[in-house]
Every structure is written in structure tokens, then in C-alpha cells.
């Protein structure tokens, strides 16, 4: 379907991300400082966030509620970003496969049903 804004396009200023996530600027910057997100920057050094970043911030909130710390959350993201080794057989995945899997499993909004993603967080902003 061709009618969905690119989730990776940096279009949101921090003020809007604060509203969408109910996080403070301090929190958002702190998470960036610890490598959990990497928002784009304008020429003038202002952070610009994508919808993908917003999804990630909501995940971070959730993990924090569950008692994880920065290091733990970072690990979770690292795990989620590589194809998991379900069986022990070598899979012989091509780069293209990896990219497809990443897209389908990691990027929220593609398959919202995976266990890595909670449903309903962004639902108030969708119609």
C-alpha cells in the first residue's frame, strides 16, 4: 500500500515527540545519549525525529516500566535488529533476506503483531 508516510523520514521536532510520547526533552536526550535512538539533525543542530523514532521511544518507556535499564534496553534493540536463530541450522540468508526480515520484524507498523511490539500505544494518533 502506497499511502503511508515513510516511517524513517525525520519530520518531527522534539516538542511534538514530547506530546506523542509523554516524555520530557530531558528523557529523550538522555536516551539518545545512551545510544537508544539517533534522531537526525538539522543544519542548525536541532533534533528531528521520524515516526520510527517515536515508536522506539514508546518501546523504551515500556521497557523502563518493566525495570530494564539503558544497557538492557540497548541489548533488546540489538537482539531485535538481527535475525533470530530459531533453529540451529545455518540459514544461508542473503543480505536481501536480512534486510527484508529487518523491515518486516523490526520496523513497527509493518507487522504490528509480532511479540516485539505492543499494540495500541500509537493508536490514539492513528485513525
Site of interaction with a copy of itself (CB under 8 A): 2-7, 9, 11-13, 15-16, 20, 42, 48, 51, 109, 112, 123, 125-127
Q: Does 118 bind DNA (CB under 7 A)?
A: no
Q: How far is the CB of 6 from a copy of itself (least distance, A)?
A: 5
Neighbours of 28 (CB within 10 A): 22
Answer for the pair 17, 49: CB distance below 8 angstroms, yes or no: yes
Q: Which of residues 62-81 bind DNA (CB under 7 A)?
A: 64, 69-70
Q: How far is the CB of 48 from a copy of itself (least distance, A)?
A: 8
Please, which residue, 17 or 122, has the CB nearer to DNA? 17
Q: Does 107 bind DNA (CB under 7 A)?
A: no
- How far apart are the two ends of the chain, measured CA to CA in Å? 16
Neighbours of 6 (CB within 10 A): 10
**Residues 32, 54, 98: CA angle, nearest 5 degrees:** 85
d(CA 120, CA 127): 12
Cell of 91: 540459514
Q: How far is the CB of 91 from DNA (least distance, A)?
A: 34
Give the residues lining the site for DNA (CB under 7 A).
Answer: 13-16, 24-27, 29-31, 34, 42-47, 64, 69-70
Amino acid at each position: 500500500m502506497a499511502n503511508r508516510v515513510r516511517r524513517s523520514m525525520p519530520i518531527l521536532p522534539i516538542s511534538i515527540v514530547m506530546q506523542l510520547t509523554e516524555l520530557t526533552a530531558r528523557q529523550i536526550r538522555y536516551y539518545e545519549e545512551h545510544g537508544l535512538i539517533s534522531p537526525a539533525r538539522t543544519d542548525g543542530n536541532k533534533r528531528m525525529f521520524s515516526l520510527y523514532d517515536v515508536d522506539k521511544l514508546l518501546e523504551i518507556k515500556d521497557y523502563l516500566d518493566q525495570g530494564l535499564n539503558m544497557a538492557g534496553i540497548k541489548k533488546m534493540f540489538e537482539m531485535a535488529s538481527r535475525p533470530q536463530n530459531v533453529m540451529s541450522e545455518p540459514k544461508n540468508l542473503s543480505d536481501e533476506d536480512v534486510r527484508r526480515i529487518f523491515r518486516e520484524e523490526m520496523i513497527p507498523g509493518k507487522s504490528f503483531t509480532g511479540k516485539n511490539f505492543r499494540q495500541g500505544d500509537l493508536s490514539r494518533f492513528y485513525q
